[in-house]
Amino acid sequence: MGTCFSAPSTGSMKEGKKALPGGAGKDGKAALAAFDSTLILGKPTPDIKTIYEIRRILGQGQFGTTRLVVDKKSGAKLACKSISKRKLTTPEDIADVQREVQIMHHLEGHPNVVSLLGAFEDKHHIHLVMELCSGGELFDAILEQGHYTEKDAAALIRTIVNVVAHCHNMNVIHRDLKPENFLLSDKNPEAEIKATDFGLSVFFKNGQEFSDIVGSAYYVAPEVLRRKYTKEADIWSCGVILYILLCGMPPFYGDNEQQIFESVIKSPLDFTTDPWPKISEPAKDVVRRMLVRDPRKRATALEVLAHEWVREGGVATDTAIEPEVLKRIKGFAAMNKLKKEALKVIALNLPPAEIEGLKEMFTAMDTDGSGTITVEEMREGLKAKHFDADGSGYITREELEAALTEHGTGAALAEHIKTILNEVDKDKDGKIDYEEFCAMMRAGNDEGARAMRGGMLTAPPTFK
């Protein structure tokens, strides 16, 4: 599921003739006859273990686990996200899962959208079997490449906007576009980029406006904060991604979510500091067209794809972008991974009753006294996973290594930890103290609700 700043509107749009979850609805009356309202997917499904061999865990979250599975007939390796039904405690939780399945079926066939190969339901879980994307996140691929040009950035944003154009053509708004939601199909140099995580996506009708504030802080469009938006909000998010691809930092930032929101609403785009003077004018032009605050004047997906800098064979050059940009991207990606892991710690290790009381823990560390928690509560939450295993009040290199083993081993893990410490350890003492950790978590907490699905981040005020 995606990140949600506030509760979805109870008046959310209801599509009249959507396919039923799990593929039901394709056979008309027969499918409707088979619909079972006691099941989340609407109809009985085969036992997943009769079709797939369940293997190792690939990832974990509060609401479920992603595992490697193997098709018993073809031998194909796939990914299976198993969502615990016990954790789907509200009608909104259930509707989110149903809608995600519907939308993934609806968008299937596009080469850059991860394929949902099957949805299964048993007594305890919903199982979503998808193609396996083993090449890592978008930023990881850029960093591994080591050499990076404007032409590379143009190719990446062309693929991303192509996905958005497909979504909009199919009357779907993604609503949570960010680099972490684009994965590489494999480790090969020619691997395809795949869009994932449609948990916040919605169907829309022409002219329909939405008011629920969803998305991720750095990437959210100003009209979303004003609670009146349509598909153009996706283009803004793509513009933010392109800005980061070209300079290594988001265009709008702050020490906490509220400051980021205010920056999104009113801060000017910075094209004066390095490396922007060395970035081509056509590249800056497409960024400007995507980050127009008035959605009526913002470029559409098709207009972006037709831009001279974005289109294939266009004017984007092979001139290398400054190495400093790669360093910035590396630091930005590393911080996000640590934040994601920390939030998962709280989600996985605290009982539901305690999670309920900690929903706003990472919203912005809420320095104005609204929904705050104490230092001791925070430390106890971290100890649940033994980030601070010795209770010293610091997170050491060794404790980071123990907590982040899923991100690599050996030299790769050492480099990952070095990057995190360089970014977060402000006093350069080789460990992360509580204040440094809080400063990191305050800076655009875009993973809070993902780690605590069903928990709502504090809604920002409605901006005028």
Q: How far apart are CA 390 and CA 272, in angstroms?
A: 46
The residue assigned the tokens 């906490």 is 256
Answer yes or no: is 81 a known binding residue.
Answer: yes
Say if residue 91 is preceded by a cis peptide, omega within 30 of 0.
no
Q: How far apart are CA 298 and CA 293, in angstroms?
A: 7
The DSSP line for 31-52 is HHHH--TTSTTSS----GGGTE
Backbone angles phi, psi at 234, to 5 degrees: -65, -35
Long-range contact list for 221-226, CB < 8 A, 24+ apart? Answer: 221/264, 221/295, 222/264, 222/265, 222/293, 222/463, 223/295, 225/261, 225/264, 225/265, 225/460, 225/462, 225/463, 226/462, 226/463, 226/464
Q: Of the listed 96, 176, 366, 446, which one is catalytic?
A: 176
Tell me which DSSP letter residue 276 carries.
G
Tell me which DSSP letter residue 206 carries.
T
State the virtual CA torsion across 304, 308, 312, 315 in degrees, nearest 10.
-140
Q: Which two tokens stand for residue 100?
A: 């995600």
Q: How far apart are CA 64 and CA 150, in angstroms?
A: 39
Q: How far apart are CA 407 and CA 140, in angstroms?
A: 11
Q: How far apart are CA 156 and CA 174, in angstroms?
A: 18
Cross-strand partners of 57: 67
Amino acid making up residue 138: L
Burial class (CB in 10 A: 0-12, 13-18, 19+), 410: exposed
Any catalytic annotation for residue 176? yes
* Furthest C-alpha separation in the chain: 67
Amino acid making up residue 358: L
* Catalytic residue ranges: 176
Annotated binding site: 81
Annotated binding site for ATP: 81
